[in-house]
Structure 1
């Protein structure tokens, strides 16, 4: 059971603060070192605590738009796979572009060759009224060919 008079030890006896054993109200623990109040101590920032909190909140908001890359950030396996996939796709796209460019050049060269061959065929296959080959046109063609080489 509880003691008969638990409030008795909290009562003040005698004058206030004169007997340290009887009174607990207003007494200090003398073993604990108390901090002394300094009126002009150096502050970390100028202004009130509220202003500091507002500035901190503002800085946090600003950090969300400005991202600072972390050094030596390790990539996850998903990120590595994604980068590998993008690299392979870029390689394939470059290869396909090169193939298309070569194909286009080849087609242009073939068109030019066929055009020249057709002109040569028309010149060399002309006939006279009697059906004989036109040697005059053949000689002109050969002369033009020799002049182009020089």
Structure 2
């Protein structure tokens, strides 16, 4: 069984994307919990499927996913996982991103350029993330995007 319990109810559940499972396993080991078993695969056309093997209803959920190469795939997988947790009635969803994707694109240098770091922040929020925990922000101004 995964998760930390108090008074018979799950309080903390730890989930991992496929970007860097070794990191998530080490975090789980340090916390003394197991990772929630997750079924995740790519369809032939590149779409991503994710399903958690345990209920997250009423739990404080922590989702670890690094934004490494292929960055767009791992960001999309994380968004799908956040949405799955939201639809599973998680009490809270904390997204742990050791390396925040698109962090270097945090301002416009010239006209007609996107602020991609803001777009990623908006997508995480829209998907249902309550909190973001990250280690590597390119600049402090990215905090303002949340």
TM-score grouping bracket, smaller chain normalisation: under 0.3
* TM score, norm. by length of structure 1: 0.19
> Per residue, is there more strand in 1 or in 2?
2
> Per residue, is there more helix in 1 or in 2?
1
Higher RCO by CA contacts (8 Å cutoff, separation 6 or greater)? 2
* TM score, norm. by length of structure 2: 0.19
